[in-house]
Amino acid sequence: MTERYYDKGIAPKLTLGCPHCRAGARFESLYGDLPLPVMLADGKNGTKLSWAGRLSCLVCGLNRTHEVDWPREAFYQVAYRGEILWAFDRAMMVDTLAYLTAGADRDAVRRNSPYATRLLRLPKTFLAAKARETLAAKIEALLARG
């Protein structure tokens, strides 16, 4: 995945997979609106983003401080051709689906999204016409379950 996709500054509220029940759990940063990611060097897997916050799951009742391994723990993520398409939360994944399937109207969809900057930085692997149908099906299935 490209570094531009990660960029700087992460949303202060995320939806993560609950470590106990795998349902969508709410994560809120301990550092305010734009937590600064801590860059951890990992020779095997490249660079990872990690930071601390509060994790709460409405399904199993989990409520604790948690350090996130982003985007590995993202609840809203789909794999395609060896890469992961992730979203901070459901709203971002819905906007990503609309953007990917918009075709010629892609710019209009992006301009109307609060995630416009993030949509511009999606890797080309996900934007290719041949990826559209597969990604749309995977995203729709993900949105249907959570």
Give tens-digit pLDDT for 52-75.
889 999 999 999 999 888 788 999
Q: Report phi then psi at 102, rounded to 5.
A: -75, -25
Which of 74, 119, 76 lies closest to 96 in space, CA to CA?
Answer: 119
CB 81 within 8 A of CB 68: no
Which of 42, 52, 41 lies closest to 10 in space, CA to CA?
Answer: 52
Q: Which band of pLDDT confidence, cut at 50, 70 and 90, is reported for residue 13?
A: confident
Taking residues 38-51, what's their average pLDDT?
Answer: 48
Mean pLDDT over each residue of the chain, to the nearest integer: 82
| Strand partners of residue 47 | 41
Question: What is the reported pLDDT for 145?
Answer: 86
User: Could you tell me whether strands 24-29 and 38-42 are parallel, antiparallel, or unpaired per DSSP bridges?
Assistant: unpaired
Distance CA 126, CA 100 (A): 8
Predicted TM-score (pTM) of this structure = 0.79
Taking residues 99-121, what's their average pLDDT?
Answer: 91
